[in-house]
Amino acid sequence: MDTLKLDGKVAIVTGSGQGLGLAFAQALAKAGAAVVVNDIDAGAAAAAVASIEQAGGRAVAEVVAVGSTPAAEQLVARAVSAFGRLDIVCTNAGNLRDKVLWNLTDEDFDSVVTTHLRGTFTCARAAVRQMRSQGSGGRLILIGSPAGQRGNPGQTAYAAAKAGIAAFARTWSMECARSAITVNAIIPVAFTRMVATIPAFAPLAGSVARGERLPDRLRKGMGMGTPEDVAPLLVYLASDQAAHVTGQCIGIGGDKLALWSHPQEISSAFSDGGWSAESIAELWPGTVGQALESVGLPPLE
């Protein structure tokens, strides 16, 4: 469909030297967009650009660590100087410092939040300012995580940052609507080098490296596939076909596509004149507390 083509569009993908980001950049370029590849590894960024150009696409590299306002403005300026405009931004850059709460240092926490949460904020702000000045709309596509939707032990900073990114998508979709800028979050489940370090998945690393298909118990049962399985959702959300889709958290992985719900009240009770601790304790088991929400991700199989 012509409305899925991105000819004439210009995109930035942060953290696109490898993994999900590389798959995103390559897919956007294949659909016709010119892409600014961003990474902190100059070699990885150059290799990503080369892979896009060898496939007939257009791309340039911008090596900078996202998080700060100057870095975000540098990325937007590169898109405009190289290709004349900016239409699509995918905030994919991230890092991990996985530790349980009592072992997590200030430096660990700040590193993850700076890259994921602040980096998403600063890049989105710079991009929206450019898109609004152009007056022709745009697409912000944020990258969340199941950990941000459900929580995950050992991922205090990561889960908090990804939950904040989901809130960004909902908030910015309302703020940017008049400018015809849609804002959505992808919740990906993909077999990456990070996932390969999990003992349950380590035996699959070799077959994935050889390009072999993951078993159905993962592709269907857990909705886990490769980065290339996630990229089509990005292309769809960047296209004219998705002009009506905004403020959503959309999951994809393997053979599974899903829409995540927004947080909402699921039960309530009322007490004339307000509540005391005693009245809450008395009524909790038979009212609001009858069926508590679960937390965490499905167990690895």
Q: Catalytic site residues?
A: 158
CA distance 146 to 186: 10
* Backbone φ, ψ for residue 278 (5° rounding): -65, -40
The whole-angstrom separation of Cα 74 and Cα 69 is: 9
* DSSP-based three-state secondary structure for 8: coil
Structure tokens at 107: 């430096």
Contact 158, 145 (CB under 8 A): yes
Which string of b and e fits 36-69 if b means at least 16 CB within 10 Å? Answer: bbbbeeeebbebbbebbeeeebebbbbbbbbbee
